[in-house]
Chain A
Amino acid sequence: MPKTPVQFRINGTDKAVFADGGQSLLDVIRREVGDTAPKYGCGQGTCGACMVLIDGEPHLSCILLAEMADGRSIETASNLDQGGQIHPLQDAFMTHFAAQCGFCTPGMLMAAKALLDKVPNPTREQVIDAISDNLCRCTGYEPIINAILDAAQNPSRRSA
């Protein structure tokens, strides 16, 4: 099967991989790069578990061809905590018990980060809008919404 060389930066590190024809960016991130934070939930772009940021914009990596990421900068949930210090969003998700099975959480966090990077003080409606691509089957969304609003209002929060 012909392979396509693809180069991108992921979580600050340059990577070069050979992608199979038709291989999704999600598959390349999980299997070739080895970052398993983005999840496969549907492969159809309807659940958001695979969400990553590409040049700061949220994207559903399961329906992107890997070669479309060529030359781009990708960020996944693995990059949120830095040097042992967790991100305010992670801290807020913990405080609000905003995860149960945890499978949607990496995608949900990236949707939230994309929002807060652009809109530091979002309204509840803006938060709802930002996570509308992301399904959660466990929490009923309320704790997730509250966590994102809390992280926005308390950007300096750190875990105890």
Chain B
Amino acid sequence: MLEFRKDLFANERDDNLNEVGKPTQRQDMAGHVTGRTPFFDDHRLDGMLHLKCVRSPHHSARIRSIDVSAAERSPGVRRILRGADVPVNLNTLLSLLAFGEDDEPSLATDQVRYKGEPVVAIIADSEREAWEAVSKVRVAYDPLPAVFDVEEALKPGAPSVNPVYTRNTFTYHDKYDHVKLRFGDVERAFQEADFVLEERYQMSPIEQAPIETNGAIAAPEVNDRYIVYTCAQGLFFSLDTTAKILDLPSNKLHFIGGTVGGGFGGKVDSLCEPLAVLGAMLTGRPVRYVLNRIEEMQVSAPRGAERHYIKDGVMRDGRIIARKMTVYFDCGAYTRLTSYGALKCVAHLPGPYTIPNVSADAYCVFTNRIPATAMRGFGVTGVDFAIECQMDKLAHLIGMDPMEFRIVNAYRDGDVKAHREHASNTALVECVQVAAEKASWPLSDAARAQSSLTGGGGERAIIPDTRLDDGGVRPAGWRPEGTLPPGTRAPSRPQVTPQPSAPRPPPIAAPQPTPASPPPAQEQVPAPAAPQTPTPPPAQSQPQSQPRYARTRFSTVFGTRRR
């Protein structure tokens, strides 16, 4: 059941529009219910061949030799692709955005780094014949030590997974092995907090599991071009990736897609398109490369695992005064999109709350597992699980109702966020109030009277003195140089006088805790059943290495990008 609370924020909307806001039928619905919606695999092409991959059975191994002679003689086989057949056999997805270095081959040549990594591609008349030939390829491997746990991977002496990032971490700003968020002074605030709670959370790897599996059909088109039917979540993302890997001008490629049987982040990686087009180029025939369900589950990229450590300092009146987080994203063997996910995670911290002292380190860690990629809520779903479980524990710790606790700490219009931008258009308080009302969850009158529109800004908009890792200090009020991008509206900035050590007042007179059992007497509460103390490795400065092919870096200053 769905209701629209038109009464809320009514004065910010003009609800008298002709088409927007109307429950119009979907343009594609008639196609869906008649089974006529054309998905990529619904295109039948004469003489179509089928591509299947030989995959690594090892998590990490050196390839000693590859023998395809028996496979070549297998019935129906038209062509066998090896790494050497791929014009540019090293790529990273976000090179299109100049973010990260090429680190992943389309077909492995000298080493495999995860179980399921493609080594050889077979193109045959039928899927069955392709699979038969796959079973006849002989690859000799020398297994190598592998590492699977994100924190193990960061220890000295851990096996190095990815030759581009030898210390098992993605490199940010050319020098750091993690993304930093620093706002205020969490260590001092922990000293001042009534309670400190430190906990560990673990998010499992998850499969996007669209009902349509990944795939592409490529075919020679007239005039020396190639047509590609694809389920890619980004049509030009996939086209440009294919053009780069195959060293083709992009206008030689004609991609058709846009109608996709579910994606959820699992169809961004563009793994099928380059090999299918390469197959079409080398055979002159249409080539279909579609993952089966086992490959979808055990080879194509999942949402990676995440591990979160959260340490919070909270006052008896409900205010969280410090939050420190260490986040490890399990990237798998190659970067794909995890580097971006870690950045998005940091952009999201410390969650929808105004906390005056925040520190976070997010690591993108390489391990010998399937490379991870995007999934619905990428970079945020896992951290929200951690934060909101932590919030529940904190509420119980101080004996405050969890809903009231959210409202006390909720960010409001005019507050400054830890990444030093001012919040606007906020609505967390109202969501909590309405959800409580719907669930008949009792709230105090004070909590019901709160609003996202009021109580923010002022001292809550102060950017505090910020202690940096090198011992330096960013003074109160510091923000990076640069102007707001066009197309965005500058939030109304409250006039603030920098007051570095001014305590942040609570937005409301917080309800007095009424615990049935008295809260713990000691000031510092040890994390209950915390399995281990997080020991984030120190920021490592990576030595400057020789520029590699297509080396690209993420910017270190606002608004510019350099190669």
Contacts and interface: CB of A to CB of B under 8 A. Distances in A.
Interface of A: 1, 20, 22-23, 30-31, 34, 36-44, 46-47, 49, 76-78, 80-81, 86, 90, 93-94, 97, 99-106, 109, 135-138
Interface in B205-240: 209-213
A94 to B, nearest CB: 5
Nearest to A21: B128
Contacts of A1: 75-76, 126, 129
A137 B292 CA distance: 17
Given A1-B75, A1-B126, A103-B210, A39 B261 contact: yes
Nearest to B37: A102
A61 B29 CA distance: 24
14 contacts: A31-B44, A36-B42, A36-B44, A37-B35, A37-B36, A40-B213, A41-B211, A80-B34, A80-B35, A101-B261, A102-B261, A103-B212, A103-B262, A136-B211
Which of A41, A102, A105: most chain B Cβ within 10 A?
A: A102
Nearest to B292: A43
B262 A138 contact: yes
B201 interface: no
A99 B34 contact: no
B29 A99 contact: yes
B35 A36 contact: yes
B32 A99 contact: yes
B26 interface: yes
Contacts of B213: 40-42
Interface string B257-270: 00011101000000
Contacts of B490: none
B470 interface: no
B131 to A, nearest CB: 11
Contact of A101 (B41, B75, B262, B292): B262
B33 A101 contact: no
Contact of A103 (B211, B292, B293): B211
B261 A90 contact: no
B211 A47 contact: yes
Contacts of A49: 211-212
B3 interface: no
A42 B293 contact: yes
B212 A39 contact: yes
B31 interface: yes
A101 B34 contact: no
B33 A86 contact: yes
Interface of B: 25-26, 28-39, 41-42, 44, 75-76, 126, 128-129, 209-213, 260-262, 264, 290, 292-293
Contacts of A76: 35
Contacts of A103: 39, 210-212, 261-262
A58 B292 CA distance: 23
Contacts of A105: 32-33, 35
B261 A78 contact: no
A115 to B, nearest CB: 17
A130 to B, nearest CB: 17
Given A1-B129, A43-B292, 13 more contacts: A23-B128, A30-B44, A36-B35, A39-B39, A39-B212, A41-B212, A76-B35, A81-B34, A93-B32, A97-B29, A101-B211, A101-B212, A102-B32
B33 A40 contact: no
A102 B31 contact: yes
Contacts of A97: 26, 29
B35 A77 contact: yes
A31 B50 CA distance: 13
A83 to B, nearest CB: 13
Contacts of A90: 33-34
Contacts of B30: 94
A137 B264 contact: yes
B66 to A, nearest CB: 27
A137 B261 CA distance: 10
Contact of A20 (B28, B33, B126): B126
The 8 A-B residue pairs whose C-beta atoms are closest, nearest first, are A37-B35, A103-B261, A102-B32, A42-B293, A77-B35, A106-B35, A36-B42, A90-B33
A94 B211 contact: no
B295 to A, nearest CB: 11
Given A103-B212, A103-B262, A137-B210, A41 B35 contact: no
Contacts of B75: 1
Contacts of B260: 101
A94 B26 CA distance: 9
Contacts of B41: 36, 39-40
Contacts of B37: 102
A49 B262 CA distance: 13
A143 B28 CA distance: 17
Given A1-B75, A44-B293, A101 B210 contact: yes
Contacts of B290: 40
B293 A93 contact: no
A88 to B, nearest CB: 11
A93 B262 contact: no
Nearest to B39: A103
Nearest to A92: B33
B211 A43 contact: no
A99 B33 contact: yes
Given A36-B42, A39-B261, A97-B26, A78 B211 contact: no
Nearest to B32: A102
Contacts of B210: 101, 103, 137
Contacts of A101: 210-212, 260-262
A81 B459 CA distance: 65
A137 B209 contact: yes
B212 A86 contact: no
Contacts of A39: 39, 41, 211-212, 261
B211 A137 contact: yes
A49 B464 CA distance: 56
Contacts of A138: 262
A1 B29 CA distance: 41
Contacts of A109: 33, 35
A80 B39 CA distance: 19
Contacts of B129: 1
Contacts of B29: 93-94, 97, 99, 102
A81 B31 CA distance: 11
A150 B32 CA distance: 18
